Amino acid sequence: IGIHKRGVQFPQTHPLALAPVTPPPPTVDGFVKEFLHELNTDQGVALSRSSINDQYTALAHTVRNYLTARWLETGRKQREGHTKSVAYLSAEYLLGRQLGNNLLAANLNDVARKALESCGLSLDTLRAQEVEPGLGNGGLGRLAACFIDSLATMNVPCVGYGIRYEYGIFRQTFVNGEQVEQPDSWLALGNPWEIAHPEAAVKVNFGGRVETVTDEAGVATSTWVPEWNVLGVPYNIMVPGYLNGRVNTLRLWSAQATQAFDLSIFNAGDYAQAVRAQTFAENISKVLYPEDSTPQGKELRLQQQYFFVACSLRDFIDNQGEDFDLRDLPERVIFQLNDTHPVIAVPELMRILIDERGFDWNDAWAITSKCFAYTCHTLLPEALEVWSVELLGRLLPRHLEIIYRINTEFLEVVRERWPDDYLRLGRMSIVTEYPERGIRMAYLATVAGIKVNGVAALHSQLLRDKVLNDFAELWPDKFINVTNGVTPRRFMKLANPHLSDLITDTIGTGWVTDLERLEELAPYADDADFRAAFREAKHANKIRLRDRLRVRDGIELPTDHMLDVMVKRLHEYKRQTLKLLHIVSLYEQIISGKVDAADVTPRTFVFGAKAAPGYRMAKNIIHLINNVGEVVNNDPAVEGRLKVFFPANYNVTLAERLIPAADLSEQISLAGMEASGTGNMKFALNGAITIGTDDGANVEIRKLVGDDNFFLFGMDEPQVAALGAKGYHPGEYYESDPRLKATLDLIASGTFSNGDHQTFEPVVSNLVHNDRFMALADFTSYIEAQAKVDAAYADTEAWTRSAILNVARCGFFSSDRSMKDYIKLIWGTNPVL
């Protein structure tokens, strides 16, 4: 009984099959024809009877059709050239909506708009119909999306590999100010951007045991006898380059039950159990784990990791053809490990080479140790994944055995270099014994990787000097920096049409793919007309945001305030509480009569942040932000001066509206905690000025834009380390700074919790007694910097000048530049034209 029919027939010799089928020319009429064809034949409805979802789906398919020939052509050229590809392995891709981006890449925007108009339809309405694929938590997943966009735009062969989660990052709602998670059923109305290939499904094994046989010569051979398996079904998604006719592929894997899986139980006669087993298999790609920077060590998560990595390696290798010699693999591919989530790929490749292809250990390692590179995204110790040996051994016994051997051989190298340094051996071992026996995935990645990179200059330096210091001593050349970047296509051209048009009118179109050219704007910072036009664009963006928030959240955003924005995951190290202390402090000063409301710069504060569902403190902080907003927004004493908004469910779609409207960008993590940040880059490129600590990529932003165009505050990393070493006592700051005391006391008094003292007691007492991320130590400095912000904002022309210089000097933060760095320092791949 063939549920999955496989196989292909070659060749198809019809003359029409020599070139891919192309839609009519991209004229308005041609587009209408293709659109109606899709609507009628694919959706099976007449225009007059079609729903918005029918129209959106047909439109998406129409755009896809225009890109298809390019896609096939890209694949053909790549296969023919036998060129080296990047295989980006990432458990997350936070793509954002596809329609606008793909229209932009294919230069179909105007044609589509007119074509739809001629059908009586609005492009904007159809764009709003798309549910964004939220297959990531935050920065890490969005970075992956920016990178694949850049590689396609730069004509570099790349396939992104990941998981097709049925449920992406949860939809956040607020109930009485508290976060409540709703499932993100993003596939409910279909996904017109993906193409499933069930016939190309890959089998993935799990569990069981390893059998070891020793021959007469004493050579032991291990065979994995797995216990169960699932199928990985690939779904292909187009990744079009910007106006270059290239289309790369994002291949996401979906888990399905195998026949064998069902049959063994069917044969036992238990139908219901067989169906349950199917559900068990499909669970693997069911849901994205919503923890950012705090992995939970759950079994299903390890299953996900191995699942997508095993599928991806198999897929890549099989695509090289039957007679491909795996010794040439390093010339064909670099597997870039996006954090430790895909690191199980290392023992998997060893297993394939040794167990399936008959290589001996040394030959297998010679290949494997040239095929991987590792990007680390964190400095938080709790974010570094460690898998318990008990779990790994149960799920992947052969892989555990391979990891042990990698470790043994690695420790041999360490011992040779530092004989008798037992402490060092213990520190560097991939296998740790505490708090339980576990595998340190970052160490495995470091040992196997050809390079290890951090994501901003400071982060890479701290990796070398602290987190991975022993490894950097052993292999100094392995450690490099590649500062993150963001795609100017989505985050400027698409998200900020007003500013983009102004830039293009001023310096031409080239900047979109050559972002350093923004520096040509610098002289215009001194041009009063340009400044006025720049302000006009900012104002137009505020109106666009106001209109969106009005409909989306029932919020009435003032468009004549300074817009002060803090959007990122909710985490204590990012210090949303510090921002909140600033707001509460401003409020306290007004209501206590210390400051006249009329003297306060009108500001609207906007937060956007999701908390991991199990992260209690983060959820308390969300509750507090909402309640502060409730009180402040309804107090006539601060009317016209302060507003605090927290639209629920911050995501890529909202970011695209919010960031272009911002005046002030809040990047206020404790120095030494934020690996890079990428939101910080998006704000600066859209003409917001940063208030920030010397952390992550803020350091590089400040260096580029200059101290006059950046509001720096707080301790730097060495000062943080010194304070920590000396002993940090937040209570001392509380006692000695009356303004801070009044602020915390106001929260503790129940002002923001209907007089109840318990609600926010955990937040306040954590700050006063523990404050791991030293918010109180940086409070005074932050308040002073905010006063400077107010003063600077009062001088409209000078502020605009600074904002323009931020745009002009941040071209470095294009993800195209990041990709050039990866290519030059790690990958050695070439464009295929």
Q: Tell me if residue 478 is catalytic.
A: no
CB of 116 to ligand GP0, least distance (A): 36
Q: Which of 301, 341, 574, 610 is catalytic?
A: 574
Q: Which is nearer to ligand GP0, 284 or 673 (CB)?
A: 673
149 binds ligand GP0 (CB under 6 A): no
- Indicate the residue type of 104: L
Contact assessment for residue 262 and residue 277, using Cβ atoms and an 8 Å cutoff: yes
293 touching ligand GP0, by CB under 6 A: yes
Distance in angstroms between the alpha carbons of the first and the last residue of the chain: 45
Q: Which is nearer to ligand GP0, 341 or 478 (CB)?
A: 341
* E strands present in 207-297: 209-214, 220-225, 228-240, 247-257
Q: Where are the beta strands (DSSP E) in 582-622?
A: 603-608
- Rule CB under 6 A: choose which of 57, 153, 496, 678 binds ligand GP0: 678
How many residues are listed for the chain in this entry?
Answer: 833
Minimum Å gap between C-beta 694 and ligand GP0 is: 14
Q: Which of residues 638-657 bind ligand GP0 (CB under 6 A)?
A: none
Cβ atoms 94, 653 nearer than 8 A: no
- Report if residue 386 touches ligand GP0, rule: CB under 6 A: no
**Measuring CA to CA, which residue among 237, 205, 673 is closest to residue 466?**
673
- Verify binding: residue 438, ligand GP0, rule CB under 6 A: no
Q: Are strands 642-645 and 194-196 parallel, antiparallel or unpaired?
A: unpaired
Q: Is position 82 annotated as part of the catalytic site?
A: no
To ligand GP0, the closest distance from the beta carbon of 98 in angstroms equals 21
Q: Please, which residue, 340 or 709, has the CB nearer to ligand GP0? A: 340
Distance CA 425, CA 411 (A): 7
Site membership for ligand GP0, residue 677 (CB under 6 A):
yes
Minimum distance from residue 675 beta carbon to ligand GP0 (Å): 4
> Could you give the string, one character per residue 67-106, with x where binding to ligand GP0 holds by CB under 6 A and - elsewhere?
----------------------------------------
Phi, psi (5° rounding) for residue 807?
-65, -50
Candidates 133, 155, 123, 124; CA nearest to 237 is 133
Applying CB under 6 A, does 692 fall inside the site for ligand GP0? no
CA-CA distances (angstroms) from residue 591 to 40, 743, 790?
Answer: 63, 12, 19
Question: Of 297, 293, 247, nearest to 102 (Cα)?
Answer: 247
CA 711, 717, 722, 727 torsion: positive or negative? Answer: positive
Crossing angle of helices 796-809 and 775-794, in 10° steps, is 110
* Region from 76-84, 376-384, 524-532, 591-599 binding ligand GP0, contact rule CB under 6 A: 376-384
| Shortest reach from residue 591's CB to ligand GP0, in Å | 35
Known active-site residue 682: yes
The yes or no reply on residue 458 touching ligand GP0 (CB under 6 A) is: no
State which of residues 138, 290, 330, 687 lies at the interface with ligand GP0 (CB under 6 A). Answer: 138
Helices (H), 136-209: 139-153
CB of 474 to ligand GP0, least distance (A): 24
Question: If you search the block for the tokens 């302060």, which residue do you land on?
Answer: 642
| Residue selected from 389, 445, 515, 675 as contacting ligand GP0 according to rule CB under 6 A | 675
In the residue annotation, 377 being an active-site residue is answered as yes
- Give the residue with the Cβ less far from ligand GP0, 137 or 407: 137
Min separation Cβ 741 and ligand GP0, Å: 32
Q: What are phi and psi for residue 643, nearest 5 degrees?
A: -135, 145
Report if residue 140 touches ligand GP0, rule: CB under 6 A: yes
Whichever of 90 and 766 has its CB closer to ligand GP0, that residue is 90
Buried b (16+ CB within 10 A) or exposed e, 212-234: eeeeeeeeeebebebebbbbbbb
Q: How far is CA 88 from CA 122, 139, 338, 506, in A?
A: 36, 16, 7, 37
The type of residue at 603 is: R
50 contributes a contact to ligand GP0 by CB under 6 A: no
Q: Is 89 helix (H, G, I), strand (E, B) or coil?
A: strand
Nearer to ligand GP0, 148 or 675 (CB): 675
CA angle 72, 75, 81 (to 5 degrees): 140
Q: Indicate if 568 belongs to the active site.
A: yes
Q: Is 160 exposed, middle or buried (0-12, 13-18, 19+ CB in 10 A)?
A: buried
The stretch near ligand GP0 (CB under 6 A) out of 134-142, 155-163, 474-482, 825-833 is: 134-142
**Residue corresponding to tokens 């707080």:** 714
Q: How far is the CB of 490 from ligand GP0 (least distance, A)?
A: 16
- Euclidean distance between CA atoms 487 and 507, whole angstroms: 19
Classify the C-alpha dihedral 97-99-103-106 as positive or negative.
positive
In the complex, minimum distance from the CB of residue 573 to ligand GP0, in angstroms, rounded to a whole number: 9
729 is catalytic: no
Q: Is 383 in the site for ligand GP0 (CB under 6 A)?
A: yes
Nearest-angstrom CA–CA distance, 587 and 643: 10
Among 93, 145, 334, 243, CA closest to 824: 334
Contact window for ligand GP0 (CB under 6 A) among 251-259, 617-625, 676-684, 782-790: 676-684
- The catalytic position among 246, 569, 579, 643 is 569
Is residue 386 a contact partner of residue 438, using CB atoms and an 8 Å limit?
yes
Residue whose CB is nearest to ligand GP0 in the complex, by number: 139
Q: How far is the CB of 329 from ligand GP0 (least distance, A)?
A: 27
Catalytic residue (choose from 97, 142, 568, 571)? 568
- Rounded Cα distance between 104 and 242, Å, is 7
Collapsing DSSP to helix, strand or coil, 458 comes out as helix
Round to whole Å and give the CA distance between 283 and 281. Answer: 5
Regarding 378 and contact with ligand GP0 (CB under 6 A), the answer is yes
**Choice between 172 and 585, CB closer to ligand GP0:** 172
Whichever of 136 and 438 has its CB closer to ligand GP0, that residue is: 136
Instruction: Closer to ligand GP0 by CB, 628 or 675: give it.
Output: 675
Binds ligand GP0 by CB under 6 A, chosen from 61, 97, 351, 377: 377
Which residue's CB is nearer to ligand GP0, number 402 or number 697? 697
Q: Which residue has the tokens 């985050």?
A: 491
Query: Contact 99/126 with Cβ under 8 angstroms?
Result: yes
Region of 132-140, 349-357, 388-396, 632-640 interacting with ligand GP0 (CB under 6 A):
132-140
Q: Does 455 bind ligand GP0 (CB under 6 A)?
A: yes
SS3 state of residue 287? strand
User: Residue 23 or residue 138: which is nearer to ligand GP0 going by CB?
Assistant: 138
- Asked if residue 609 binds ligand GP0 (CB under 6 A), the reply is no
Please report which residue ranges of 634-760 form alpha helices under DSSP H: 652-658, 679-685, 698-705, 717-726, 730-736, 738-748
Q: How far is the CB of 212 from ligand GP0 (least distance, A)?
A: 37
* 676 lies in the binding site for ligand GP0 (CB under 6 A): yes
Please give the Cα distance from 788 to 598 (Å, whole number). 18
Q: Write down the least CB distance from residue 293 to ligand GP0, Å.
A: 4
Q: Applying CB under 6 A, what is the total number of residues that bind ligand GP0? A: 18
3-state secondary structure of 487: coil
Mask for 478-497, x = binds ligand GP0 (CB under 6 A): ------x-------------
Residue 696 found at the interface with ligand GP0 (CB under 6 A): yes
Q: Shortest gap between Cβ of 626 and ligand GP0 (angstroms)?
A: 23
Comparing CB distances to ligand GP0, the nearer of 234 and 672 is 672
Q: Does 143 interact with ligand GP0 (rule: CB under 6 A)?
A: yes
Find the helix or strand (DSSP H, E) in which 373 lies. Answer: strand 372-375
Active site residues: 377, 568-569, 574, 678, 682
Contact residues toward ligand GP0 (CB under 6 A) are 137-140, 143, 292-293, 377-378, 383, 455, 484, 674-678, 696
